[in-house]
Structure 1
Amino acid sequence: MSTGLTWFGWALLSALFAALTAIFAKAGLQRVDPDLATWIRTGVVWGALTLLLTLAGKWSDPSALPARTWTFLVLSGLAAGASWLCYFRALSLGDASQVAPVDKASLLLLVLFAYVFLGERPSSREWLGIALIGAGVLLLGLRR
């Protein structure tokens, strides 16, 4: 997919859509169980991606993928599902302006996991940014 966007541009778009996700989810969680809401959201994601793959002609044989790829994609899907269930439950109990920033504590864990399991080594400047994110999450958690 050649769009001219760099990883940073795609990441900014991801942040935009993640923010909209929180706003739309919070508005949609009125009078519905958060687990059912997560199921509906997952169905919408599945349908949208099915349409995208079809329109873009990107279908290929999933059985041709290596077992290692399947293993990690399944684990990723299970982790995403658990995250979404917890996120929607938190949104049903708290304000979006509280829940979404605390959810971003995942960034701290991601950096730690990437360091340990993937061998990634952030620069000093990146560690400073990560520490500031951590401080922000702590301030939000101590707010009440």
Structure 2
Amino acid sequence: MWIVFAVSSAVFAALTSIFAKIGIENINSNVATAIRTLVVLIMAWIMVFLTGQHSNLGSISQRNWIFLIISGICTGLSWLCYYKALQSTEVMKVVAIDKFSIVLTLFFSALILKEAITLKMIVGIICITVGTLLLAF
């Protein structure tokens, strides 16, 4: 089932970029990011209550809170930068460089989480890097 969610995520992420480019026309990118964030916030809390998970909020550890807050800050900074970049150039260039986050995630997962990097991953990293450079420049 994870593959269905992963593919759905990719489709929605692609549509997000297209609709964002249209939506940020003639408005400040920070305002656009705030509007998008508000919509995401409302949708996320609706899902928490619809699935009955609100009763589990008290069991979240301090460590979980700290890392979720840091992750949220990183998401916010990413979105602010993404929208500013979208206002400045073509969607294809921004998305290509943004998706380079795959390579950075693999690097950080090895460095911070001590996850193994295999030869197959190295080949993939090289392909993604070359593809990013070809699409963006």
What is the root-mean-square deviation of aligned Cα atoms in Å? 1.3
Matched, 1:64 2:59: yes
Instruction: Tell me the distance in 1 between the aligned counterparts of 2:4 and 2:56.
Output: 30
The runs of 5 or more residues in structure 2 that have no matched partner are none
Instruction: Tell me the distance in 2 between the aligned counterparts of 1:113 and 1:9.
Output: 26
Partner residue, 1:29: 24
Instruction: Tell me the distance in 2 between the aligned counterparts of 1:122 and 1:9.
Output: 25
- Correspondent of 2:6 among 11, 18, 25: 11
Matched, 1:114 2:109: yes
Pick the structure with more helix per residue: 2
Matched, 1:124 2:119: yes
Task: Tell me by how many angstroms 1:122 deviates.
Answer: 3.0
TM-score for the superposition, normalised by structure 2: 0.93
Identify the range of structure 1 (81-90 vs 48-57) with the bigger mean alpha-carbon deviation: 48-57
TM-score for the superposition, normalised by structure 1: 0.88
Instruction: Tell me the distance in 1 between the aligned counterparts of 2:22 and 2:88.
Output: 13
Cα distance change, pair 43–19 in 1 and its aligned pair in 2 (3 A) = same
The runs of 5 or more residues in structure 1 that have no matched partner are none
Task: Tell me by how many angstroms 1:112 deviates.
Answer: 0.5
- Taking only the aligned residue pairs, the percentage that are identical comes to 38
Amino acid at match of 1:78: I
Partner residue, 1:135: 130
